[in-house]
Amino acid sequence: MKTQALISYLPLLLRDYLLTRGGAMVVVSLVFIGPLLIAFSTATTPPPPEQMSRQAIQVMLSLTTFLTLIGTYGLIGQDFRLGYYRSYFAKPVPVPLYYVATFGCALLGFWTVQGLILVTLASFGVNAWDAAAALEATLSFILLGSMVLAFSRVSRLDWIFAAFLMALANPLRSAYPAAESIRGKILNVLLPPMHLFDLTPSARAAGETSALITGAGVEWTSFAWICVYALTLFVFAMVAVWKLPLASTQ
Amino acid sequence: MIQLHDVTKTYRSLIPPKPVVALAGMTLSFGAGEVVGIAGPNGAGKSTMLSIVLGFLSPTSGSVDIDGMKPRRFVERHGMAYVPELVAIPPWWRVTGALNRFAVLSGLPKAERAHRVEEAIESMGLEEHLGKSVKQLSKGNRQRLGIAQALLSDASVVIFDEPTHGLDPVWSDRFRDLVGTLRRPDRAIVIASHNLNELERVADRVAILDHGRLTRVTDLQAESQTRETRHYLLVLATDIEAVPEIFPGATRAPATDQGVAWTVDGELDFLNRGLRTLLEGGASVRSFAPRRSRLESEFHEAVGK
């Protein structure tokens, strides 16, 4: 197994990732933070720095979903659809390991873009760095990214399926509460735990930025739930690339 | 080295529900040191067979063994030099960048990479295209890049799927020399091609597939001993009744613009004697040329066309 070769390949993989997806991620980020910066700089009385930071952090967190979808759609499927796999996987490369590396690059790419946004905001005098929010954004990327990845080997609509499932999760949880029926319990386990990212109004009013790390400390149960769910989907995606035939056309 | 034993591959789909048998009970082996050609009409199962050898597909039944390993395991451990029929490389990669990437993926030590890339560029004549991106390359140049990336590694299994597809005649000829340089006692080379002339020039054996079945294996090494026995097309200005007596076994061929045509076969000495007799008898020979190589004849017999 040529793990060493794959490690040497990582910088090239990251470069390709940033070249192909980085631009779109930056543009979408600017669409989100641009209006905020304009609002701050044109206000007759600028809001206090804490308020600007909180608003910027909330914008960055809501941006995470879009960055994740742009950053992970077709991450596996495109190589197969466009036939690149034939050249890649005739080389001594373990297929699942290649996509672990690819997902790792996607995460690095996401952090790079987030870093650029932070620098941009800072250049306008807004400090949006918050460790709790950064961790939440990372977990959100890993969770939603794993969902996209789980669909990626079987459908070109991977990101649509993942977004649909994500959008459906909270309404279904509300319609079938886990405490009230077996169906609710099953749905609670099967649906992505998007609700764990939701800040309660009181927490928001108290100035909290993350539902996972609050003033009272880390919400370990939520943290573990998200990690286990994401890991399960990630492993599923890797088993799919390992077990499904690489060539599928006749 | 590579053994396919009773390999069957059936494609199933919901629409249409009828299963398609791409390979049916194929048993074939490729030995180290050998160059084996795979011929067959479109849809004969050539690419499916190569995909199974590469571990891209699993057989529905039967087994494939490469040096005691299943194909995918073998590829993950050792890699294969593979040129697909349609070379697909990310279009934004530049020629040198693409080869560097494949060199890294091939597991070449850092110290060797630059040298190997340079060698591959030189052997495929890509020097003038180094700064171009893949999307700027013509089909033929892209095919050369595809061959170059396969040459980077020192793989013991080399697989070409329609390697000269899109290449100009000069590079098609050079491909023959290239196969010669790739020959090694510990290396198996498999070439799937529609081009029977190409296979005849480079292969030791040619397996002919039709409708997923292995219909025959032609040993060109043995054939070369009797290569003088070939079919020839003899065209005469006028009809001469004595032709079947001079060339026993001669058969009428469709008339050409030049005159009356006969298919004759035999060794060159025999054919020369017959031609001399014809000319001495006053016949006017308009043309005399090989009709089909033995591989072509066998191919047509095997696929019934």
pLDDT of residue B223: 57
Q: Which domain holds residue B45?
A: 2-223
Q: Are residues B212 and B228 in the same domain?
A: no
| C-beta atoms of A91 and B106 within 8 A | yes
Closest partner residue to B75 among A8, A82, A90, by Cβ? A90
Q: Are residues B232 and B111 in the same domain?
A: no
- H or E element, residue A214: strand A213-214
Nearest residue of chain A to residue B154 (CA atoms): A91
Chain B residue numbers with beta carbons less than 8 Å from the beta carbon of A91 are 75, 79, 102, 105-107, 153
Structure confidence at residue A1 as a pLDDT band (50, 70, 90)? very low
To the nearest whole angstrom, how far is the Cα of B99 from the nearest Cα of chain A? 11
Q: Are residues B199 and B119 in the same domain?
A: yes
User: DSSP letters of chain B?
Assistant: -EEEEEEEEEE--SSS-S-EEEEEEEEEEE-TT-EEEEE-STTSSHHHHHHHHTTSS--SEEEEEETTB-HHHHHHHH--EEE-SS----TTSBHHHHHHHHHHHTT--HHHHHHHHHHHHHHTT-GGGTTSBGGGS-HHHHHHHHHHHHHTS--SEEEEESTTTT--HHHHHHHHHHHHHH--TT-EEEEE-S-HHHHHHH-SEEEEEETTEEEEEEEHHHHHHTTT-EEEEEEESS--TTHHHHSTT-EEEEEETTEEEEEEEE-HHHHHHHHHHHHHTT--EEEEEEEE-HHHHHHHHHHT-
A217 in helix, strand or coil?
Answer: strand
Q: How many domains does chain B have?
A: 2
To the nearest whole angstrom, how far is the Cα of B180 from the nearest Cα of chain A? 22
Nearest residue of chain B to residue A81 (CA atoms): B88
* B110 lies within 8 A of chain A by CB: yes
pLDDT (tens digit, 9 = 90+) per residue, B101-116? 999 999 998 889 999 9
Structure confidence at residue B95 as a pLDDT band (50, 70, 90)? very high
| C-beta atoms of A9 and B78 within 8 A | no
Q: Are residues B163 and B293 in the same domain?
A: no
pLDDT of B305 above 70? no
Largest CA distance in chain B: 73
- Residue B243: half-sphere exposure toward Cβ, Cα within 13 Å: 23
Which of the listed residues B194, B223, B252 is the one where a domain comes to its end?
B223
Residues 6+ apart with CB under 8 A from A124: A37, A40, A41
pLDDT of residue B148: 94
d(CA B22, CA B49): 9
pLDDT (tens digit, 9 = 90+) per residue, A100-117? 999 999 999 999 999 999
Q: Are residues B171 and B126 in the same domain?
A: yes
| C-beta atoms of B105 and A82 within 8 A | no
Query: What is the mean predicted confidence (pLDDT) over B210-232?
Result: 74
Closest partner residue to B107 among A2, A12, A247, by Cβ? A2
Chain B residue numbers with beta carbons less than 8 Å from the beta carbon of A90 are 54, 75, 79-82, 150, 159
Per-residue exposure over A94-123, b if at least 16 CB sit within 10 Å of its own CB, e if not? bbebbbbbbbebbbebbeebbeebbebbee
Q: Which of A148-162, A173-187, A193-207, B90-104 has the lowest mean pLDDT?
A: A193-207
Q: Are residues B231 and B196 in the same domain?
A: no
Q: Are residues B163 and B62 in the same domain?
A: yes
- H or E element, residue A67: helix A49-72
d(CA B40, CA B35): 17
CATH of the domain at B55: 3.40.50.300
pLDDT of residue A213: 75
CATH of the domain at B238: 3.30.70
Q: What is the ipTM of this complex?
A: 0.84
pLDDT (tens digit, 9 = 90+) per residue, B59-70? 999 999 999 999
Closest partner residue to A250 among B22, B81, B105, by Cβ? B22
Q: State the count of interchain CB pairs (< 8 A) between A and B.
A: 87
User: DSSP letters of A116-148?
Assistant: HHHHHHHHTT-----HHHHHHHHHHHHHHHHHH
Q: Are residues B101 and B199 in the same domain?
A: yes
pTM for the model stands at: 0.84
To the nearest whole angstrom, how far is the Cα of B203 from the nearest Cα of chain A? 22
Share of chain B above pLDDT 90, in %: 47
* B77 lies within 8 A of chain A by CB: yes
Q: Are residues B216 and B75 in the same domain?
A: yes
| C-beta atoms of A2 and B153 within 8 A | no
To the nearest whole angstrom, how far is the Cα of A242 from the nearest Cα of chain B? 10
pLDDT of residue B226: 54
Chain A residue numbers with beta carbons less than 8 Å from the beta carbon of B19 are none
Q: Are residues B136 and B8 in the same domain?
A: yes
pLDDT of residue B299: 76
pLDDT of residue B185: 92
Q: Are residues B259 and B201 in the same domain?
A: no
Residues 6+ apart with CB under 8 A from B14: none
% helix / strand / coil in chain A, to the nearest 5?
75, 0, 25
Round the average pLDDT of chain B to a whole number and report it. 88
The answer to whether the CB of B70 falls within 8 A of the CB of B64 is yes
B33: left (phi over 0), alpha (psi -120 to 50) or beta: left
d(CA A81, CA A112): 27
Q: Are residues B136 and B250 in the same domain?
A: no
Which of the listed residues B223, B245, B268 is the one where a domain comes to its end?
B223
Which of the listed residues B223, B250, B281 is the one where a domain comes to its end?
B223
